Structure 1
Amino acid sequence: MARAGSVAPRQRASAAPESGQRPGRRLLPRSRILLVLALVAALGAAGFGAWALYGSQWLRIEKVSVAWESGSRRELTADQVLSEAAVPLGAPMASLDKDAIEDRLLAALPRLKSVRVVRAWPHGVGLKVTEREPSAQVPAPGGFAEVDEEGVRFAEIAEPLPSVPLLEPDMADAPSVRRFDEERTLREAVAVAAALPEPLAERTSVIRIASYDAITLELSDDRTVRWGSPEDSSAKAGALTILMKAAPDARHFDVSVPSAPAASGG
């Protein structure tokens, strides 16, 4: 108790922080300066990078090369590919439109199956190309058209290719034309040619197509193979390979039912 007549000492007023709140921190002047300097440095680096990529002469396209993917056929020349690619020499590497170059080449050169455009920093561009392989050839107004395994006609030639089967359709009176038009049947016949092992494909002179269900192979040594429809072509090719080894003197083979192949003649 305070004594009578005495004055109670003043209590210091203190503002206690409310529950759950902490006093805010203020950046010191030095911290603010460092932050501003860091932002300026970052903006400067970004600006310099953009200038180096697009405005300077350091990273410009100076050389374009063409390379065929491993094992790819080579009928086109590097000059043909370079001419149609039209890669802009002297342009910034960063602005190279790879998709546009690929589309341009595939549209201008049907022989090309695929194209890859790659940057070879700091100054080079590489064009990696793959050409289509002919699985068959068909008569065309200018001679013969090469057809790949996908049924794409990609080139016309004056003389037939050796060791590539020639498709000869004769379907005018075939009843199956109502269900399978000639174009579809030709595509299926190309699949037959693509299914043949290379040694057998090289010995196949003609693939004669009377209807969808009546395809016949004529071999270079005057032997014939009744193939039937294009269905189960892989199994038929395997059966024919075994049958020809088992009956080397036979003149006629029938693999229309691959599980029961037959040979005759000879």
Structure 2
Amino acid sequence: MTPTVRSPTDELAPIDPRIRQRRVAVERSRGRRRLLWILGVVVALCLVTGVVALLHTPLFSAQVVTVTGAHPHTSSASIVAAAGLAHHPPLISTDPGATAARVEALPFIATAQVRRHWPDGIQIAVTERVPAVQMAGPGASWSTLDGYGRTLQVQPARLPGLAVFAVHTPGRVIPPSVVGGSLPASASAGLTVARTLPPAFSAQVVSVTVAADASISMALNSGITVLLGTATDLPTKYEDVAAILAHGSLHSTSTVDVMVPQSPAVSG
């Protein structure tokens, strides 16, 4: 008897119509989910694009710029211009840190803090540097400096009531820096003296000088010379000077030597 040969297709059972319908439903459900996901992404992108576009409109630009803090030597207009806010840029593109750094580059500005106030405001809070000394510049010009050696301004004549500062090195006198620049490190000790003078006699000081050997001296409006030496033990040296000025019998040619703390000497 000849064996019957079956085709592989004979082994496949027909698919139940309910299973086929279930598979079709699953595929349709997946398709709907993919479509909803794509639509969600498109809607989200449209919303983000719309919000970004809205934030770059005049509604959210720096229309109201307020400058606070005492700044008698720097106009508000100069501060706003330095901040880059004169043309009312969008608040979203205004970096408070970078804006503050631009303001602090102005000669007189010591610190600047920038805050955004939505939807259209920016506040710039500033403090100014305090003039401490003046230095003779090229020709007949004079430069005003703060207590850390930063040049604040240049004027054609010497200012009254501000001590003269001079720094000598072997062979030359250090000139003041350009406006906004600072003196070299060799001036730091003398500047420490200039900015820490006590109320007891600060108004009497007409000059602070750093010699080529780095020793520091002061000239008073009475003609008295004070030798401080180095910028160490300054509180003790200041106490010695104040006591001698208050109780000593001094002349316009007198020299007060406090280079050795608590062992002052007077000559002349």
Q: Is the 2:168–2:212 Cα contact (8 Å) retained in structure 1? A: yes
Q: 2:158 maps to which residue? A: 160
Question: CA deviation digits over 1:188-241, x for unaligned, max 9?
Answer: 3122212322453332111133333432111223332111123x1xx2234322
Question: CA deviation digits over 1:55-109, x for unaligned, max 9?
Answer: x4431221222222xxx552122123234434153432112244554454445x3
SS of corresponding position for 2:92: helix
Distance 1:199 1:38, change over 3 A: farther
Q: Is the 2:201–2:242 Cα contact (8 Å) retained in structure 1? A: no
SS of corresponding position for 1:135: strand
Distance 1:57 1:152, change over 3 A: closer
Q: TM-score normalized by structure 1? A: 0.67
Q: Is the 2:71–2:126 Cα contact (8 Å) retained in structure 1? A: no
Q: 2:53 maps to which residue? A: 51
Q: Is the 1:239–1:261 Cα contact (8 Å) retained in structure 2? A: no
The structural deviation recorded for 1:166 is 0.8
Match of 1:261 among 238, 263, 266: 263
Q: TM-score normalized by structure 2? A: 0.67
How many equivalent residue pairs?
A: 225
Q: Is the 1:196–1:237 Cα contact (8 Å) retained in structure 2? A: no
**Partner amino acid for 1:255?**
V
Q: Is the 1:209–1:216 Cα contact (8 Å) retained in structure 2? A: yes
2:211 paired with 1:210: yes
Q: Over aligned residues, Cα RMSD in angstroms?
A: 3.6
Percent of residue pairs identical: 23
Alignment of 1:2-13 (within 5 A): none
Distance 1:255 1:193, change over 3 A: same
SS of corresponding position for 2:78: helix
Q: Is the 2:142–2:157 Cα contact (8 Å) retained in structure 1? A: yes
2:243 paired with 1:241: no
Distance 1:90 1:264, change over 3 A: closer
For structure 2, the 5+ residue unaligned runs are: 1-25, 173-182
Distance 1:57 1:210, change over 3 A: closer
For structure 1, the 5+ residue unaligned runs are: 1-25, 175-181
Distance 1:27 1:238, change over 3 A: farther
2:123 paired with 1:126: yes
Distance 1:222 1:127, change over 3 A: same
Q: Hey, what's the Cα distance between the residues in 2 that align with 1:67 and 1:103?
A: 16
